[in-house]
Structure 1
Amino acid sequence: MDGPDLGMTGRPAMRRVLGLLALAAVPTAVLAVFFLLPVSGMLQRGLWPEGSLDLGVLDVLGEERTRKVIWFTLWTSAVSTVVSVVMGLPAAYVLHRLRIPLRGVVRAALLVPFVLPTVVVGIAIRQLVGESGPLGSLGLDGTPVAILMGLVFFNVAVVIRTVGAAWEALDRRPAEAAAALGASPGQVLRTVTLPALRPAIVSSAVVVFLFCATGFGVVLMLGGTRYSSVETEIYLLTTGAITGSVEYQAAAALSLLQIAAVVALLAVAARLRAVPDPTVRRTRATAARPTRRDLPALLATGLVLLAIATPIATLVTGSLRRDGRWTLEFYRALQGTGEDAGGGGIGGGLLRVPITDALGNSLRIAVDATWMSLLLGVLVSVVVTRRAHSRAEASVRGVFDGLFMLPLGVSAVTLGFGFLITLDDPPLDLRSSPLLVPIAQALVALPLVVRVLVPVLHGIDDRQRQAAASLGAGPVRSLLTVEVPVLWRPLLAAAGFAFAVSLGEFGATSFVVRAQAPTLPVVIYRLIGSPGELNYGTAMAASVVLATTTALVILVVERLRVPGVGVL
């Protein structure tokens, strides 16, 4: 495509600017109310708690527990990133360069952990390393090692998909030329292949580090209050789980620190994705048949599959066994409300509603969050990819481009915290509104939707839009006649990702969900934190149901996947 034509002036240029503003009106209003207002409220609570500037947040950052939390976040994220890269590279090669049986199924299976609800990942790892689990004799339960296992389990798919896509697009001829000149397979890997893959490897490592640093549910489930990351510490401070009282200023201080770190990491990741190595030729290579030299990579991929399948298999097995016998008792208990400390059952249980009702709530909320995120995602994607035909239009689009990228720099927990402290006073007293949870989940899913749609829209020839405009089509009609026919398949894939993410969202939801209408991830966390074998077993059964639903959605998404387009 040619560069932007900035020569348009006069009435046509004004019409295009007005059309751009109209397209951006709805997402801008949503962003202002449900992002900018909560974040500014958080800033106000942290920096101006009494109406005047208070730099007490600096004292919070200097406290011993805060330093420990920051250090724990840094080193666990770094170690998890290194392990994820080491485990992911062989699998990326096997699944994107070799022709093996059921390759598509294996790819989908390795993607499932990334979209599993974090509470499910946490309980699966706990079941694996717990006293009765296969690794129970190692004493890993409640240790940082268990947290590292959960973070790697959750994020290795990022490396496999990101590096694998780049590996699949590498031209084979430079490596073949090096081999013809006498280079060993190891030398070819070190001198030709890895240098060409370096941007993808570094980019995936940055993204994995970001996900590990904001891995709320995994760390909360496996670390409790003893081992806390910045993300979980914000939650614990706002719920009074540490000192018994709510500490908004300390939570705000950590939220500000997290926003700065996440924005910096996202900027690095975006820079790495935007500047590919110009010396590397990209062409989709045909998958080759495995040879004896590929045996180590095949074995390593098998170990990755085993490492991912074992926690899930342990979770399923644990949900079907009680007192050494096979039973469906925990699944039947899904119709009840758990048991309280006194052993109460359906009549006087731990929860206000049956667990099956919580599953219904999760499904309904996920449907609402999906259509909201799709509506916003389409409008945002069109605005940020629309070609500018005048300087005024380029300036307006540049402003919106930066504005719509702001939510990428804020984690779900920080967003939920902002909802908690800002949307509770008239005229925006929305704490009791049933729409607040799906709105929060839609904002969490929105970046994934945009990541799916933007590359597709960038690939549409702008001359088609110009032809539609010359025939009298306005912005909306042009969208329906030019973009929608190309977007329908990616839209379905984006809807699947949004639904899966919303179904398992826990970070923001835990702040704003109503006790009488909980989602299934919130119920699972509540059951896990309560004593009683029935509660723990029912939480495992609920986790299996949630994981199965999510996995089925992702398998459908994989069938709709457009080559070269995705969230990873």
Structure 2
Amino acid sequence: MTGSSSGLRCSLASGELFVTTALIATMSAVVALLLGYPVGLWLASVRRGRKLATSVLLLPFLLPAFLIGLAFRPVFGPWLDDSRVGIAAVVCAHALMNAGFIAVVTAASLVPRDQVEAALLDGASAGQTRRFIEIPQQLPALSAAALLVALYSATSFGLVISLGQGAINTLETGIATAALQLLDLPTAALLAGLQSLLTLGFFLISRRLGATPTVLFGDVEPVARRFVPGMVVGGVVIAAVVWLVAGVVQRAISAGPGLWGNIANLAGRGSRDILNLSVIDALGNSLRNTLVAVAISLALAWWLSAKRVGLAVLAPIGISPVVIGLGALVLSGYLPSAISGSWLLLPLVQSIFLTPLAFHIIAPARRSLSRDLVDAARLDGANSGQLFTHVELPTLQRPLIAAAALVSLGSLGEFGAATFLAYGSDQTLPLVMFRLMSRPGSENVGMAMVAATLFIALAVAVVWLISSVGRHPDRVRADG
């Protein structure tokens, strides 16, 4: 009877975790769409300052999730002890992180100019054109973007543990608790299976909506009139991002011995030597891992972009990095010792869930490459290597650079798998930052905030590079 009761409680708890995770992921995707779509319509109309606006909007998308959670914590304060408030806070944080990405997808998936002009000539209003022509054609791109947001939100381990404060339990945190604290691998496996089931459900829904990634980079002619509601929402989102960044920088300046003291302390191990290595050494580990993860992810994404894989390639995003890290740890005994016992295992694992992000950018850009240009090169005798170096690489240079930049930041800020696979002198920057923030002492907080400020500065440089890439000139939206 005791075993049956224990199994029943486990099943009930697993079901609750499944519902909570599905609720957070779905609400996060919906809210991000509601915010990002009007902002994208406004962004497409911006002539001056678009690069700056895009950079600010994309910044939270590229920051580590736990850093967003730590920035949100002072806003909700003791209310986070209420699980309902905690869930709302997590959804708000996810929405802020992903609204800019949705906005960029919206602006990039605008319908051809001739269709809009034909509808207006036939007497359709701007609202009718948007409702019956634009939105149906944008739905595949927006569905693919929403799928990506939902998958990321369902596996947002760092954000939940930094913002949930134990009041929120999801499949992700349940897996970590079962595996790391309780050493209950059967329960961890059960929760991992439920997470895979949730991922499958999201894929089926997006497939019904015809989800297809869109080309995100090219050149575009701005629309004639601004979408005022989107401008208002965009202003609010931009203000929230600026507030988040300003809060981190302000704490980097004011906490502990001050800015310069905090910078000098990065060479140390924190108050009372709570770290196994210095923050600078951890940054070096992260940069080393990033080089390997980026090389593998870009190569795999390029290879997969030539295959008929559809949205299935996005599946690893819906599998928790915690699960992948745990699986790699369990299977590491069967790998060569040169890999299982070294730092190489972490970037190899990171490339599994970073490849879909690179694929989301490279695949649609490669599919949009002129077939006439490729066929002409082949008729002229170009082999596969020459086609890549002389045609594809120069033409797709911008999306490749953007994919490399996004994957780099994804690797630098990765937290879940690193929790299992990076330890001792191989710990990464996110692990060190989280440990500093979770220990008392103004010196530790100051060090963490300076490290976070450096990460934000790097992210700003990356989004500035990405926002320098425009969109296609033959696409525009109806005015109104």
TM over 0.5: yes
Structure 2 counterpart of 1:124, from 68, 71, 76 = 71
2:347 equivalent among 431, 438, 448: 438
Answer yes or no: is 1:489 the counterpart of 2:398.
Answer: yes
Are 1:288 and 2:288 an aligned pair? no
Give the secondary structure class of the aligned counterpart of 1:336. Answer: coil
Q: Could you say which residue in structure 2 is the equivalent of 1:236?
A: 177
Greater RCO (Cα-Cα under 8 Å, separation 6 or more): 2
Question: What are the residue-to-residue correspondences of 1:40-439 with 2, within 5 Å?
Answer: 59=7, 63-96=11-44, 98-130=45-77, 143-167=86-110, 169=112, 171-173=115-117, 176=120, 194=135, 197-240=138-181, 245-269=182-206, 272-273=209-210, 286-290=222-226, 294-322=227-255, 327-339=259-271, 344=272, 349-382=273-306, 384=307, 407-425=316-334, 427=336, 430-439=339-348
Distance in 1 separating the partners of 2:315 and 2:165? 30
Contact 1:263 1:408 in 2 (8 A): no
SS state at 1:423 partner: helix
- What secondary structure sits across from 2:183 in the alignment? coil
Q: Which amino acid aligns with 2:254?
A: R
CA distance in 2, matches of 1:460, 1:375: 18
Shift of 1:270: 5.0
SS at match of 1:335: coil
Equivalents in 1 of 2:434, 2:368: separation in Å? Answer: 43
Out of 510-519 and 488-497, give the one that drifted further. 488-497
**What is the CA-CA distance between 1:139 and the residue it aligns to?**
9.7
The answer as to whether partners of 2:143 and 2:211 remain within 8 angstroms in 1 is: no
Pairwise CA distance, 1:503: 1.1
**What CA distance in whole angstroms lies between the structure 1 residues aligned with 2:389 and 2:204?**
33
Cα distance in 2 for residues equivalent to 1:406 and 1:141: 29
Q: Is the 8 A contact 1:445 1:498 kept in 2?
A: yes
Output the aligned Cα RMSD: 3.6
Report deviation, 1:411: 3.3
TM-score (norm 2): 0.84
2:194 maps to amino acid: L
Question: Larger Rg: 1 or 2?
Answer: 1
Retained in 1: the 8 A contact 2:28–2:91? yes
Cα gap change, 1:356 to 1:427, in 2 (>3 Å)? closer
Aligned length in residues: 463
Q: For the structure 1 residues 117 and 78, does the alpha-carbon distance in structure 2 shift closer, same or farther, using more than 3 Å as the test?
A: same
What TM-score, normalized to structure 1?
A: 0.72
- Asked whether 1:559 is paired with 2:444, we answer no
Shift of residue 302, structure 1, vs aligned partner: 0.9
**Aligned equivalents of 2:81 and 2:198: distance in 1?**
35
Which amino acid is 1:298 matched to? M
CA distance in 2 between counterparts of 1:522 and 1:401 reads 34
**Distance in 1 (alpha carbons) for counterparts of 2:104 and 2:7:** 42
| Shift in Å, 1:543 | 1.3
CA distance in 2, matches of 1:469, 1:300: 48
Structure 2 counterparts to residues 407-556 of structure 1, below 5 A? 407-425=316-334, 427=336, 430-461=339-370, 474-556=383-465
Residues 271 and 188 of structure 1, relative CA distance in 2, 3 Å threshold = closer
Alpha carbons 1:84, 1:156 under 8 Å: kept:
yes
8 Å CA contact 2:111, 2:134 repeated in 1: no
Report SS of the residue matched to 1:99: coil
Name the structure where helix makes up a greater proportion of residues: 2
Per the alignment, do residues 274 and 471 of structure 1 end up closer, same or farther by CA in structure 2, a change over 3 Å counting?
Answer: same
Kept in 1, the 8 Å contact 2:221–2:472? The answer is no
| Percent pairwise identity | 27
Partner AA of 2:203 in structure 1: L
Q: Distance in 2 between matches of 1:421 and 1:505?
A: 20
Displacement, 1:313?
1.3
Cα distance in 2, alignment partners of residues 477 and 75 from structure 1:
49
Which range moved further: 520-529 or 481-490? 481-490
Question: Does the Cα contact within 8 Å between 2:294 and 2:351 map onto a contact in 1?
Answer: yes
C-alpha contact 1:130 1:141 (8 A) present in aligned 2: no
Find the residue that maps to 1:430 and give its secondary structure: helix
SS at match of 2:340: coil
Equivalent residue for 2:478? none
- 1:391 maps to which residue? none
Match of 1:41 in 2: none
Matches of 2:112 and 2:378, distance apart in 1: 36
Instruction: Tell me how far 1:222 sits from its aligned partner.
Output: 0.8
Aligned-pair distance for 1:487?
Answer: 3.3
